[in-house]
Amino acid sequence: TNLVFEDEGFFDEQEELRFQEAEKTLDKLSDACKKLLNDFYVLTLSMEAIAEKWQLKSQKIAKDRKYKCLNKARKMYQNMNL
């Protein structure tokens, strides 16, 4: 198995390909989705903080938007692998 060195970890080629496909999928998302997912997963902002930052009326709206963005990403990723 060929291994790829990536940020202090080793990935086999299959894992590296899946990672690259996931990155391509995220690149295709709208800027709003990318920013929202970044706020949640990278910056680890709470739904409350995201709702406030994005001037949304409630945490539920923020959560719904995150869910929709994740579903878009999931469907795009699945379509890439058909």
Nearest to 37 by CA among 65, 10, 18: 65
Q: Is residue 72 pLDDT above 70, yes or no?
A: yes
Q: Is residue 52 pLDDT above 90, yes or no?
A: yes
Give me the pLDDT at residue 10, please: 58
39 neighbors 50 (Cβ within 8 angstroms): yes
Separation of alpha carbons 77 and 57, rounded Å = 30
Q: Is residue 24 pLDDT above 90, yes or no?
A: no
Give me the pLDDT at residue 1, please: 42
Q: Where are the alpha helices (DSSP H) in 1-82?
A: 13-28, 31-37, 47-53, 59-80
Q: What is the mean pLDDT of residues 28-45?
A: 94
Average pLDDT over the chain reads 85
